A and B are shown apart, each in its own frame.
Chain A
Amino acid sequence: MAELEIKNLNMSYDKHLEILKSLNLHVKNGELISILGPSGCGKTTTLRIIAGLLRQTDGQVLIDGKDVSKLPVHKRNFGMVFQSYALFPHLNVFDNVAFGLRQRKEKVSIIQKRVNDILIATGLKKLEKRFPDALSGGQQQRVSLARALVVNPKLLLLDEPLSNLDAKLRVSMREEIRRLQQLMHTTTVFVTHDQEECFAISDRVAVMNQGVIEQFDTPQKIYRAPKTVFVARFIGYENFLSVTKKISSTSFYVKNVKLDINSTVDGVTSLSIRPNQIVLGSTAKTNIVSGEIQSSVFLGNAYRYTVSTCIGNLKVDYLGSKRLSNGQNVQLELPAAALLGLKK
């Protein structure tokens, strides 16, 4: 239970390869935040620096306002769950979970009680005598989580903990993580590349790209109002239009088509809209562009058309049950309410 603050974190290898560029992050006490990004964006590096497994080139990691940058890993009092579970292969479930408490030289009776409690809370009581190689992936990850939580860590660090599990287990496991995190009120940093996963359980999400946090917001805000092209693309926006000329903060030219938006950010360079928000066959007078259907794909709930227009090809989802034929001319409306202004 603690507050985490990262100030101007830099990480580079051999002075050339910059992994992190002045990263700042503030996680409140008891909050669960996710760092979301593609592989190679620096999210795992960030987590390993927080844990103390890597030393940053520059910058600070503060826990409750105290700089822990120089504190070795084993004195930080954190818990960590790895993608590969990383259980001690020669210890049984009970001893794996008890490891942290024994290192802290707790009394035997206290160890017994706390390990017991957490084994019951995680549904592992019956398996306590088993060795890791006799457990399924999901069970191993539960043990790993129990091992992390039993020490009452100041900070719980989760490094893609669900990636090795199958789809069904992933959903139940993430709910388990959230339940236990809420129960124990543990400040948690969760690293993942799966947006659904992190939206489901996070209080806030930091979307990371090439060593920079592009946006740090609630899942709702990230989903509905991404601020940069990268964030929008990462969470499923497909149509990106480069602004040719800015008329006002809410009105732009893309080639010679004038498009209005409702809300805006500073320094808009692109406009974007989801395929299902474009209105096909609209009779509106503004935010209109005409085009010709190039191809179509059946998606189940809709047809997805690729429409070539004077501002480029647009992907449009249309719910109509009849498939429109290729070559047909259509009017497309890009409603101002759905059209987003994005920074680079």
Chain B
Amino acid sequence: MGQSIHSAFKILVNGMMTETTASTLQALLAEQGYGDTRVATARNGTFVPSRVREETTLKPGDSIEVVSARQGG
């Protein structure tokens, strides 16, 4: 929704330089193809609950973490 009116900018997604036109974190997850994967997110080191991803706007240089469940000790 409205992604295409934004020009592309660069952010870090899981440490990888990524070019995006997504204006929000929710749009970024859709654009990147996370689909129905159950993930948790953080923006610039701060937790972003899933319920506020839609209103979390992205800026050039943002660092986004997208994590999911894994084995652990």
Do A and B form a real pair?
A: no
Give B contacts to A, CB under 8 Å. Answer: none
